[in-house]
Amino acid sequence: MKKTMTGHKAVAEAMRQIEPDVVAVYPITPQSEIAEYYAQYVADGIVHTELVPVESEHSAMSACVGAAAAGARVMTATASQGLALMIEIVYIAASMRLPIVMALANRALSGPINIHCDHSDAYLARDAGVVHIFAESAQEAYDWMIMAQRIAEHENVRLPVVVNLDGFTLTHSVQVVEPLPDEAVKKFVGEFKPAYPLLDVDNPSTWGPFAMPDYYFELKRAQQAGMEAVPEVYLQVQEEYSKLSGRPYKGFFEAYRLEDAERAIVVMGSTAGTAKVVVDELRAKGEKVGLLKVWLWRPFPKEEIVKALSHVSKVAVLDRAFSFGNMGALYLDVTSAFVHQDQRPQFVNYIYGLGGRDTTTEQLAQVFEELKTAQPGELRYIGLRE
């Protein structure tokens, strides 16, 4: 049944239906209502989750690590400075191969302090070893939270999964969301089967041991294997979920009117929704433009992106954060995918929307217009006062 709700509520609903054993969370704008909704569910006895009201995000992720190693299904949520504070333990959670699912309400990192959306917090965790998925809408945030659980817990993956949703734009605005029935979600996520749970006292195990130069390298290579297993698992889970929900999730990204496109935009998150409007408007005028909206950012689907974009003449890759001292991180991902390809588009990088700066349909139409004459490799800005 269709309902209206905020992105917060959509994420909290998915969490309620999954009903993890432990949620350790610390409130931070623009994530707070996720924590508040879930605390209310616990207080009302709607879920039987152990809610750990920690004193910081560092402790939140530490509690998640401990609980997950003990054998619990664990979820959390944070944003911006909260992720920055917990990042030490995010790396550890990934290295310990703990399937913790986390909603990240994307917000600009300080400084200057700002509470509004950009992707600098996600970029901070780019190399943490977690799977990154970006949602375009509240509906997608809900759907990905449920799919993330299965991807994270697959025996070949066993990695934290971060579901990114744009702060305020998605977390606070009310959208139409169609949740699945509780029982369908419970059946879909199934029962969590932990590996070497610490609470299995008959089979003791040592977690988080010190690794010297003789083993550290091998352990990190084994961690990379978890990432390498993601694409196959992701596609399986996505196919199963699409059948269950009737919503057609297919592939690592959404290719929107891209098949015969001459110019295209690549973007992550809610701005893809704005870009679709612009693509439709320009298509109505006969312009061959398209959009590639990235769902799966890490691991990055290089080969599939090459297939989807190689016929396009000019591509604007939009980064909602600086990668200071270089081009944007998504731009580097996309362009490096083409490094050994003879047939490739000309690429331009745009930095946009920092600290919650609005990105309008007019501006994205302007990007498509500028692409006609822009120099390949240019670093440009959307909506910046020059």
Partner 1 sequence: MPELKTWKELPIGGVIPGGATPELNKTGSWRSQRPIWNAEKCIHCLQCWLHCPDDSILIKEGKVTGIDYEYCKGCGVCARVCPVNAIEMVPERGEG
Task: Give me the residues that bind partner 1 (CB under 8 A), please.
Answer: 95-98, 158, 195-196, 203-209, 211, 214-215, 217-219, 221-222, 225-226
Taking the mean position of all CA atoms in its chain, how far away is CA 268? 9
Q: How far is the CB of 96 from partner 1 (least distance, A)?
A: 4
Report d(CA 287, CA 382) in Å as an integer. Answer: 21
Report d(CA 211, CA 215) in Å as an integer. Answer: 6
Q: Which of 204, 195, 160 is nearest to 65 (CA)?
A: 160
Tell me how many degrees the CA angle 151-157-162 measures, rounded to the nearest 5: 55
Q: How far is the CB of 221 from partner 1 (least distance, A)?
A: 4
Computed over its alpha carbons, how large is the radius of gyration of the chain? 21
Q: Which of 316, 324, 381 is nearest to 348 (CA)?
A: 316
Whether residue 93 contacts residue 41, with contact meaning beta carbons closer than 8 Å, is answered with no
379-to-316, 341, 350, 356 alpha-carbon distances in Å: 10, 22, 6, 20
Which residue, 69 or 108, has its beta carbon nearer to partner 1? Answer: 69
Q: How far is the CB of 42 from partner 1 (least distance, A)?
A: 28
Angle between helix axes 271-284 and 361-371 (nearest 10 degrees) is 60
Tell me how many degrees the CA angle 199-24-10 measures, rounded to the nearest 5: 120
Which residue, 96 or 170, has its beta carbon nearer to partner 1? Answer: 96
Kindly give, in sequence order, each residue whose CB lies less than 8 Å from that of residue 139, ignoring residues fewer than 6 positions away.
10, 175, 176, 177, 178, 247
Report d(CA 141, CA 71) in Å as an integer. Answer: 26
Q: In this structure, which amino acid lies at residue 119?
A: H
Which residue, 211 or 277, has its beta carbon nearer to partner 1? Answer: 211
Q: How far is the CB of 341 from partner 1 (least distance, A)?
A: 30
Q: How far is the CB of 210 from partner 1 (least distance, A)?
A: 9
Q: Which of 179, 137, 245, 140 is nearest to 2 (CA)?
A: 179
Which residue, 46 or 219, has its beta carbon nearer to partner 1? Answer: 219
Q: How far is the CB of 54 from partner 1 (least distance, A)?
A: 23
Q: How far is the CB of 70 from partner 1 (least distance, A)?
A: 13
Which residue, 43 or 219, has its beta carbon nearer to partner 1? Answer: 219
Which residue, 67 or 371, has its beta carbon nearer to partner 1? Answer: 67
Which residue, 218 or 232, has its beta carbon nearer to partner 1? Answer: 218
Which residue, 199 or 211, has its beta carbon nearer to partner 1? Answer: 211
Q: Beta 74-78 vs 22-24: how paired, if at all?
A: parallel
Q: How far is the CB of 201 from partner 1 (least distance, A)?
A: 10
Which residue, 228 or 259, has its beta carbon nearer to partner 1? Answer: 228
Residue 298, φ and ψ in degrees, nearest 5: -135, 125
Q: How far is the CB of 212 from partner 1 (least distance, A)?
A: 11
